[in-house]
Amino acid sequence: MSETQIEWTDATWNPVAGCSVISAGCTNCYAMEMARRLEAMGIDKYAGLTRKSGKRTVWKGIVREDWSALDIPIRWKRPKKIFVNSMSDLFHEGVSDRFISEVWSVMKRTSHHHYQILTKRPERMAAFVRKHIKEIVPNVWLGTSIENAENAPRVVSLKTVPAAIRFISFEPLIGPVGAIDLAGIHWAIVGGESGRFARPIREEWIDEIYEQCASYNTAFFFKQWGTWGKDNKKRSKKANGRVYRGRIWNDMPRGLDTTGTGPNGSR
């Protein structure tokens, strides 16, 4: 798997398959349904990872390291922003330190790419990096997902990780996050949930994050409204679009910006 419709990256790289739900943001994880479809298409890597639960597809908790996928980014000669493990969580307890070290080694060897690692297990990420990574690899971005105030403490672990770029994905934003210390956080992505079971997003929750990004000089990327629009009405993700405060927000971490002025005023 490589090309993607995810707005903030160019490609996905999935050296791990399978995961397990860890918090409320995982409830409608698109990777569960995608894994089921890939299994139905006969792709062995995703076989047996999910089961049906009522109308939903859910993970069984099996995690598979795909050693054969490790060299994929080495074969990509043109530079890309690469989202690592869109179908899993690299820091799931089922992934060995040895395997994560191999992933790091590939990222270090392919410095023409930028790697975006997003986890809901930042405590393990912080412990792993401190123990095994001797120097910051400049093209590796480390991030965590925060979907509501309950999970906002994940930022504390993220901030302890030595990294060139630290980022937070506030997606799916399913509740207010509240006051959050974004010092040392270079980039924030915000988005609503999409799909059949999507939960609503409120504009005031986005405002709260936007304003804090502005005061901490954190680049702001608004990914999507999702299935619920700003008027709190349900329609397609496409119809709801990506406009917030009258414009599209595609800001990237400083030095990598592709669009105009963000709330951090850095351009």
Binding site for ligand SF4 (CB under 6 A): 19, 21-22, 26, 29, 31, 88-89, 120
Would you list the DSSP string of 241-266?
-S-BTTB--B--STT---SS--TT--
Nearer to ligand SF4, 17 or 188 (CB): 17
Nearer to ligand SF4, 52 or 77 (CB): 52
Q: Are 8 and 191 in contact (CB under 8 A)?
A: no
DSSP strand pairing (16-17 vs 50-53): unpaired
Nearer to ligand SF4, 157 or 217 (CB): 157
Min dist CB 153 to ligand SF4, Å, is 16
Which residues touch 189 (CB under 8 Å, ≥6 apart)?
8, 167, 168, 169, 170, 171, 221, 223
Nearer to ligand SF4, 49 or 182 (CB): 49
Q: Which amino acid is at 6?
A: I
Q: In this structure, what DSSP letter does residue 69 have? A: G
Q: Are 57 and 88 in contact (CB under 8 A)?
A: no
Min dist CB 35 to ligand SF4, Å, is 9
Min dist CB 121 to ligand SF4, Å, is 7
Nearer to ligand SF4, 4 or 217 (CB): 4
Question: C-alpha distances in angstroms, 206 versus 13, 154, 225, 264?
Answer: 29, 18, 10, 15
Nearer to ligand SF4, 61 or 79 (CB): 61
What's the rounded Cα separation, in Å, for the pair 32 and 5?
Answer: 17
Min dist CB 216 to ligand SF4, Å, is 25
Min dist CB 50 to ligand SF4, Å, is 11
Min dist CB 25 to ligand SF4, Å, is 6
Three-state DSSP string of 88-112: ECCCCCCCCHHHHHHHHHHHHHCCC
